[in-house]
Structures are given as structure tokens and as C-alpha cells.
Amino acid sequence: MALVARDLGYTYSAGAEYRIEALRGVRLTLERGDLLVIAGVTGSGKSTLLRLLAGLLEPGTGDVEVDGDAPRSRVARGRVAIVFQNPESQFFAETLMADVAFGPRNLGIDAAEDVAAAALASVGLDPVAYGGRSPFTLSGGEARRGAIAGALAMRAPYLLLDEPTAGLDDSGRRDVLAAIGRERATSGVAVVTHDPDEFLGDATGLLALDAGGVVFEGDVRDLIDRPEGYLAAGLRLPDVVQAQVLARERGAVIDRVELQPLAAARVLAQARRAER
């Protein structure tokens, strides 16, 4: 039971003079409970990858399976939820509540409005205050959270999020990160981001793309020992990790790199004391 991609590739305008090979040779497995971070700069192919995983694009090469079925097959309907980079382009209903409830109602989930209200609350949007608002009057941050609520309400086993925290203020970001954490109890979550910093501490896997190709895949901690492809792709190591890498370069003995700032401070302090 997983969302699986094998040798996945896609070329826009295939066969035409101006074809653009957006993606090639991607393999990945997303299981329930996973948080897969897909990192890359703009134009690296990460949004194309999400569309392929959701079945919104037909693969040029390779294939995608959702619990053993093709993502476009009837039986796979509702198994993958996706939130795009421009959330406002996803709204269509007159009220936010109707919009968020549309997915679950369409999938035959009972009490769709209750599910929708819970989803809104989980991203920090009070269903009473926001449910009756037109989605088109929401601020950028509210719209993004509303779109994420719409995906959460589908209760899909796989949730794909494109830059879910872009444009959010700090409290909105904390709400969304907490909602993602809760979602992992029942679902596998893949997050596409150009700034993986805030997700890496909780990630179960990291896939980094550059110009459509995979430059890193594996455990986040392995990044410390082979960061070359990741850095060459224009991605930044989180400052907390960068500090430990630099310290190591300057002779500090650090065996295990920590991702959280407090744990990292203990690592650095210990290395410093060991020298005395």
C-alpha cells in the first residue's frame, strides 16, 4: 500500500521543436506516515512531479501506482489530494465552507460539512468566522490555508502539497505544519518546496531535483555526507546544519549532525568542550 513512481519522466510539447524535458528517471515510494520533502529551485520539475503523482499528467516514461492502481482509474478516485502553488486558482464555490465540503460530499463522505469544519479549524481558520466568506475575498495566506483544508477534508491516504507555507505568516505557518503533522497519522504527505528548511526536521525522506533530474535521494541526515548535488542544484542547507558542517570543516569532531537548533547547540557545545 503506497504511492509508487517508477522511472518517471515527462516532456512538455513532446515532439515539438520547443519541447522541454521537465522530468526524468524519478522513482519514489510514499507510504502512510511518511513526510517526503521534494526540493528544487524554480524550474527543477518538482511541480510537474506532483501533477504526475496526482494523475493530472500522463507520464511520458515510467508509471505511477496508487495502492496498486493507476491514479486515473476509477477505483483510485479520492486516494490522492493535491494543493497547487496558486491556491486561489482552485476555488470555485460561493463560500469557503461549500468549497471545502465539495470534495468530501463528492466522495460520498457522511456529514461533509462537519468534516469541512474540522479541516478549516485544523489549519487555523475558524469555521464560523470564515465558512461563510467568499473564497475570493480571502487574503493570500487565508486562501492557501483554505485550499489545504479542502485537501484535508478529502481524507485521502496521500496528500500532495505544492509550497504549502509560501506567503503565510508565522502563526499560519505553524498551523499548517501542525496540520501536516496530524495528517501523517493516517496519510502519506509529499511536500514540494524550494526552501526545505522548515520541513527537514520531521521529514522521513528527501528528494532533490535539478533541471528535471534527481540530484539527491535518501535520508535527510545523509545530506551531511554527500551534499554536493544538493548544493550544486542551488539549494541551501538549513543554517543549523550549515553551522555544524562549517564547524566540522574547522576541525570540530561531530559524529551525528542534529537538525533541531537546541540539539545542534548541544552538539556544538560538546565538541567545543571536548577540545579543552
Candidates 26-34, 113-121, 221-229, 239-247; binding stretch for other proteins (CB under 8 A): 239-247
Span 177-196, contacts to other proteins by CB under 8 A:
194-195
With vertex at residue 2, the alpha carbon angle to CA 228 and CA 195, rounded to the nearest 5 degrees, is 35
Residues 32-71 as x/- pattern, contact with other proteins by CB under 8 A: --------xxxx----------------------------
Residues 159-178 as x/- pattern, contact with other proteins by CB under 8 A: ----x--xxxxxxxxx----
**CA distance to 158, 219, 230, 238, 241, per residue, from 222 (Å):** 25, 5, 11, 14, 12
CB of residue 200 to other proteins, shortest distance in Å? 10
Cell numbers placing 166: 509560501
Candidates 30-38, 152-160, 214-222, 266-274; binding stretch for other proteins (CB under 8 A): 266-274
Judged by beta carbon, residue 41 or residue 118, the one nearer other proteins is 41
With vertex at residue 51, the alpha carbon angle to CA 14 and CA 182, rounded to the nearest 5 degrees, is 165
Contact 126, 157 (CB under 8 A): no
Cell numbers placing 242: 550549515
CB of residue 245 to other proteins, shortest distance in Å? 8
In terms of C-beta density within 10 A (0-12 exposed, 13-18 middle, 19 or more buried), how is residue 275 classed?
Answer: exposed
Residue 41 to residue 215: CA distance in whole angstroms: 12
Q: Which residues bind other proteins (CB under 8 A)?
A: 40-43, 85, 139-142, 163, 166-174, 194-195, 197, 234-236, 238-240, 242-243, 246-247, 250-252, 260-262, 264-266, 268-269, 272
